[in-house]
Amino acid sequence: MLPEVLTSIPGPESLRLAARLKEVECRNTTYLSPDWPVFWERAEGVNVWDADGNRLLDFTSAFGVATLGHGFSAKAAAEQAGQLVHAMGDVHPARLKVELCERLSAITFERWTGEKGKTLLGNSGFEAVEAALKTAVMVTGRSGILSFEGAYHGLGYGALLGAGIEWFRAPFEKQLSQVTTRLPFPQQDIDEEIWRNFRRALDKVNPKDIGAVLVEPMQGRGGIVIPPPDLLRELRSWCDEHAVVLIFDEIYTGLNRTGKLFGCDWSPAVPDLICLGKSLSGGFPISACVGKASIMDAWPETHGEALHTSTFLGNPLGCAMAIASLETHADPATTCLAWDRGNDMGAAFRELCDEPFVAEWRGVGFMQALELRHPDGRHAGDVCIELVKGLLKDGILVLPDAPEGHVLALTPPLGISDEEIAFVVERIRVRLRELGGISS
């Protein structure tokens, strides 16, 4: 269903809510520019309705959460809500926690290697990353981390150690241990020389203190950057050679976002630990660090006091939603759909490559982007934000990505139709021409 062009976005109720929120929410969280805030009231499938009754087409999947569509696991949540909404995760857990961990094992390490996977559940995505970093210390006794420029692993203090976007780290740098070595994240289709330089830089890293390599198989927040297929394999052999734990942060790329079940399924490399979140439940804050059993068993047995847990660990609502969502994610038909529809979507968006400011289309599956540059080659973050605001008025939700905000991310739910894609392509074309001063 196509949105109507919305002339009054943000609507009066959203503006009233913005004014109220400004009084009571800490600055630097919600973006409250007068031409921006849209407060959500309801969502279903690929559509969101705001507090003024406007319908918007969601090309963000709400930060990559609603891969299967908004409300996909709502029924599971409602049924569970009538029964048990909280348990004592590490003391007297909900029975559903068992089933969720079994399913996570089945779709990861059992599928890749036959070996069981063991899980540490968390709430937000960054907690899964922190659980993985702690696991690496348990395994190796070494605190050093190798991560990548442009990387985004969430904003908790542990996860910030891996952050490759300096802006997020800078104000807190003084409280962060200096344990991280960062390498450039190579991009697919780069020339041989850049790839050779990357290999040389990796060879030069002193592995002595490094216990973990933390990497997104494809960078999301960093600007939808797809690396050469060999990157993960190179990292796998480097980790094997130096007995370092390899962590794939698949919080964004995992669960059919990239046209494969996991982003790492594009490569033969298998991680030691994988982090999942976002689309795991399709809407409840639950995350997971899943590791090879032989790696996870570096954690000692608990005798009643867990070394790593939290009040809401294995929350039954989250477990019920994750089980419902994994049931569909694990179905090969879902991966086929993500692959086929992703290709169709890519073909449609590639048509925009000749439009003003479009330097490049890139992507895999349902993780696609247009990189915008000025004619002199500068990153066009200024254009991208105007484009995003213009598209909002067209009833389309999109977001800029990359440290300089010059990448328009295109990450809708899998249920998006051809007609809806064509509509978005057309509106982007019109808006880019307006911004470039060309009459359509």
Ligand X SMILES: Cc1ncc(COP(=O)(O)O)c(C=O)c1O
What residues contact 108, with CB distance under 8 A and at least 6 apart? 117, 262, 274, 290
CB of 199 to ligand X, least distance (A): 24
CB of 273 to ligand X, least distance (A): 13
Q: Of residues 117, 144, 154, 390, which one binds ligand X by CB under 6 A?
A: 154
From residue 235, how far is each of 19, 125, 183, 194 by CA, in Å? 48, 23, 12, 16
CA 290 to chain CA mean position, Å? 16
CB of 352 to ligand X, least distance (A): 25
CB of 129 to ligand X, least distance (A): 6
Q: Of residues 221, 236, 260, 341, which one binds ligand X by CB under 6 A?
A: 221
Confirm or reject binding of residue 152 to ligand X (CB under 6 A). Answer: yes
CB 246 within 8 A of CB 200: no
Confirm or reject binding of residue 216 to ligand X (CB under 6 A). Answer: yes
Find the part of the chain contacting ligand X (CB under 6 A) among 244-252, 303-311, 322-330, 392-400: 244-252
Q: Of residues 89, 125, 164, 263, which one binds ligand X by CB under 6 A?
A: 125
Query: Mapped to the 3 state alphabet, what secondary structure does 14-73 carry?
Result: HHHHHHHHHHHCCCCCCCCCCCCCCCEEEEEECEEEECCCCEEEECCHHHHCCCCCECCC
Per-residue mark of binding to ligand X, 264-303 (x: CB under 6 A): -------------x--------------------------
Confirm or reject binding of residue 249 to ligand X (CB under 6 A). Answer: yes
Find the part of the chain contacting ligand X (CB under 6 A) among 98-106, 216-224, 402-410, 414-422: 216-224
Confirm or reject binding of residue 60 to ligand X (CB under 6 A). Answer: no
Rounded CA separation 273/213 (Å):
10
Confirm or reject binding of residue 366 to ligand X (CB under 6 A). Answer: no
| SS3 call for 417 | coil
Rounded CA separation 430/440 (Å):
7
Q: Which residue is it, tokens 């918007």? A: 56
Among 253, 410, 261, smallest CA distance to 333 is for 261
Complex with ligand X: residue 249 or 272, whichever CB lies closer: 249
Find the part of the chain contacting ligand X (CB under 6 A) among 53-61, 213-221, 290-298, 377-385: 213-221
Rounded CA separation 17/37 (Å):
9
CA angle 29, 394, 344 (to 5 degrees): 95
Q: Of residues 163, 245, 251, 414, which one binds ligand X by CB under 6 A?
A: 251
Which strand (E) or helix (H) includes residue 145? strand 144-148
Task: Tell me how crowded residue 371 is: count the other CB atoms within 10 A of its CB.
Answer: 21
CB of 152 to ligand X, least distance (A): 5
Tokens of 299: 């954690």
Confirm or reject binding of residue 371 to ligand X (CB under 6 A). Answer: no
Confirm or reject binding of residue 416 to ligand X (CB under 6 A). Answer: no
CB of 437 to ligand X, least distance (A): 34
Confirm or reject binding of residue 153 to ligand X (CB under 6 A). Answer: yes
By CB under 6 A, the residues from 6 to 45 that bind ligand X are none
Q: Of residues 72, 126, 185, 266, which one binds ligand X by CB under 6 A?
A: 126
Which strand (E) or helix (H) includes residue 371? strand 367-372
Which strand (E) or helix (H) includes residue 361? strand 358-364
Confirm or reject binding of residue 185 to ligand X (CB under 6 A). Answer: no
CB of 289 to ligand X, least distance (A): 11
Q: Which residue is nearest to ligand X (CB)?
A: 125
Question: Binders of ligand X: how many residues, by CB under 6 A?
Answer: 15
Q: Calculate Rg over the CA atoms of the chain.
A: 22
DSSP secondary structure letters along 172-204: GGGGS-S-EEEE----TT--HHHHHHHHHHHHH
CB of 235 to ligand X, least distance (A): 16
CB of 185 to ligand X, least distance (A): 12
CB of 249 to ligand X, least distance (A): 5
Rule CB under 6 A: which residues touch ligand X? Answer: 63, 124-126, 129, 152-154, 216, 220-221, 249, 251-252, 277
